[in-house]
């Protein structure tokens, strides 16, 4: 929600967000549909052909169709404990094939490890939000960082300086992603 607010408040872009949650809500599956662009958004609907997909739980690669509708030349961000070489070995074949056939740019980040190292436990969303802003450059990254940190103070300020500092560190760590080469032979899997 904060990403759409940041984009909407700091650009001339039109924005819309829709979220679907499973019954567990906290700790369960969430699918966020964020739309923004230069033209007015005149209808409410799910995003069925995204330019960018982020998968925050690597197990979802085998549980859900995480590439469904991802546009040709799109971008995929994966939170994973795998190294780049392990990703190349462990990605499901259908995902590899889709990436290769559609010229998808793949980035990985180990937000799980980063969150644990900075004391956020399993809370990876701020790290991944920061990575989204850095990768997409939908607004200047410095502005995105400034706005994310304002939201952190607003959201967590009453919980103390330590919580704010950990979340600010999460924003700063969002650049610790790497691009993974997509092999042409994956298209023939």
pLDDT (tens, 9 = 90+) of the chain, 189 residues, equals 889 889 999 889 889 988 877 776 666 777 788 888 889 988 777 888 999 999 999 999 999 999 999 999 999 999 999 999 999 999 999 999 999 999 999 999 999 999 999 999 999 999 999 999 999 999 999 999 999 999 999 999 999 999 999 999 999 999 999 999 999 999 998
The β-bridge partners of 75 are 52, 105
Distances (CA, A) of 111 to 49, 58, 63, 117, 186: 25, 11, 20, 10, 26
d(CA 122, CA 133): 21
Asked if 51 and 72 count as a contact pair (C-beta separation under 8 A), the reply is no
- pTM score, two decimals? 0.91
According to the model, what pLDDT value does residue 186 have?
97
According to the model, what pLDDT value does residue 143 have?
96
The β-bridge partners of 21 are 30
Buried b (16+ CB within 10 A) or exposed e, 106-145: bbbbbbbbbbeebebeebbbbbbbbbbbbbbebbebeebb
According to the model, what pLDDT value does residue 27 have?
65
4: left (phi over 0), alpha (psi -120 to 50) or beta: alpha
Question: How many residues comprise the chain?
Answer: 189
Asked if 106 and 131 count as a contact pair (C-beta separation under 8 A), the reply is no
**Can you state the angle between helices 141-156 and 125-136, rounded to 10 degrees?**
160
Q: Which residues, 6+ apart, have CB-to-CB distance to 50 below 8 Å?
A: 69, 70, 71, 74
Q: Phi and psi (nearest 5°) for 62?
A: -100, -10
According to the model, what pLDDT value does residue 129 have?
97
According to the model, what pLDDT value does residue 29 have?
76
Residue 27 burial (CB < 10 Å; 0-12/13-18/19+)?
exposed
d(CA 153, CA 163): 9
According to the model, what pLDDT value does residue 25 have?
60
Question: Where do we find the tokens 């056939």?
Answer: 101
């Amino acid at each position: 929600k904060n990403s759409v607010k940041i984009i909407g408040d700091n650009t001339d872009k039109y924005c819309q967000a829709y979220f679907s949650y499973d019954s567990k809500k906290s700790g369960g599956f969430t699918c966020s549909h964020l739309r923004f662009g230069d033209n007015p958004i005149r209808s409410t609907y799910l995003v069925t052909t995204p330019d960018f997909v982020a998968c925050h739980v690597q197990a979802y690669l085998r549980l859900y169709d995480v590439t469904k509708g991802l546009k040709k030349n799109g971008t995929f961000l994966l939170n994973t404990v795998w190294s780049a070489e392990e990703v190349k070995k462990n990605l499901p074949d259908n995902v590899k094939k889709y990436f290769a056939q559609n010229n998808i740019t793949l980035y990985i980040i180990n937000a799980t490890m980063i969150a644990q190292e900075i004391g956020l436990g399993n809370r990876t969303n701020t790290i991944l939000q920061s990575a989204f802003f850095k990768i997409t450059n939908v607004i200047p990254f410095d502005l995105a960082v400034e706005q994310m940190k304002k939201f952190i103070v607003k959201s967590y300020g009453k919980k103390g300086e330590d919580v704010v500092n950990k979340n600010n560190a999460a924003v700063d760590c969002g650049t610790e992603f790497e691009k993974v080469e997509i092999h042409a032979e994956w298209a023939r899997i």
